[in-house]
Amino acid sequence: MKYSAVVIGASAGGMDALRIILSSLPATFPLPVMVVNHIAPSSTNYLTRHLDANSPLVVKEAEEKENITDGAVYVAPPNYHLLVEEDKTLSLSTSERVKYARPSIDVLFETAALAYGPALIGVVLTGGNNDGSDGLKYIKDLGGTGIVQDPATAESNSMPNAAIETANPDYILPLEDIAKTLQELASL
């Protein structure tokens, strides 16, 4: 299977988990990465700046109607859902919260699954609710690949546990092994 994109969702403890993964991916990582991390509506873009400073990849806040570029990381801005359109552009929405969250991991995962089908890799990381579990199941239902952080290595294990129960992921990995697996899958 040749993969075309990666989507990652995180909540409580997500900043550190994302930093560990993104700092371990090489500058030559060939796939675009779209990220939702639950953050307060009034947040600044600190998360994006922090991840960009700690990653060999370019990490930027997603913009409306932006073309998705291989090897770039797009982070959902505060208080906006991040969506992937079928023409492989990004869009932002202030529609209702999903599972109490905006940005919602499920919204990103489901729209990306429609755009990329079986060429999508979905990753659910640490978090304190069940956002991402339905989205990861949808990715799997459309033939994509699911990775979940091992709950034992998560700062908050509710989100990984919910994703494991709901989506039957292909991989349940310690945080430190996720970047290596993403590299292996991207090279198929």
Which two three-digit tokens encode residue 39? Answer: 């953050």
pLDDT for the residue 81: 94
CA dist 146 and 167 (Å) reads 8
Residue of 38, 55, 81, 106 marked catalytic: 38
Tens-place pLDDT, residues 88-129: 999 999 999 888 888 999 999 999 999 999 999 999 999 999
The position carrying tokens 């034992």 is 152
pLDDT for the residue 101: 86
Count how many Cα atoms sit within 13 Å of the Cα of residue 66 in the half-sphere of its side chain: 19
Residue of 4, 11, 24, 55 marked catalytic: 11
CA dihedral 28→2→131→151, nearest 10 degrees, is -70
SS3 at position 32: coil
Tens-place pLDDT, residues 52-79: 999 999 999 999 999 999 999 999 999 9
CA dist 89 and 87 (Å) reads 6
Tens-place pLDDT, residues 19-52: 999 999 999 999 999 999 998 887 888 889 999 9
Q: Is 38 a catalytic residue?
A: yes
Phi, psi of 146 (to 5 degrees): -115, 135
What are the Cα distances from residue 86, in Å, to 67, 112, 163? Answer: 11, 8, 25
Between strands 58-61 and 90-93, the pairing is unpaired
pLDDT > 90 in the chain, percent: 89
CA dist 132 and 125 (Å) reads 9
Q: Cα 179 to the chain's mean position, in Å? A: 12
Is residue 7 predicted with pLDDT exceeding 70? yes
Q: Is the pTM of this model over 0.85?
A: yes
Who contacts 61 (Cβ-Cβ below 8 Å, separation ≥6)?
45, 48, 74, 75, 76, 77
Structural domains in the chain, sorted by start: 5-186 (3.40.50.180)
Q: Is 11 a catalytic residue?
A: yes
Tens-place pLDDT, residues 74-91: 999 999 999 999 999 999
Q: How many of the other CB atoms lie within 10 Å of CB of 79?
A: 15
Residue of 131, 134, 156, 158 marked catalytic: 131
Q: Is the peptide bond before 56 cis (omega within 30 degrees of 0)?
A: no
Q: Is 50 a catalytic residue?
A: no
Is residue 146 predicted with pLDDT exceeding 80? yes
Strand partners, 61: 75
Is residue 153 predicted with pLDDT exceeding 90? yes
Which two three-digit tokens encode residue 79? Answer: 């208080």
Is residue 1 predicted with pLDDT exceeding 70? no
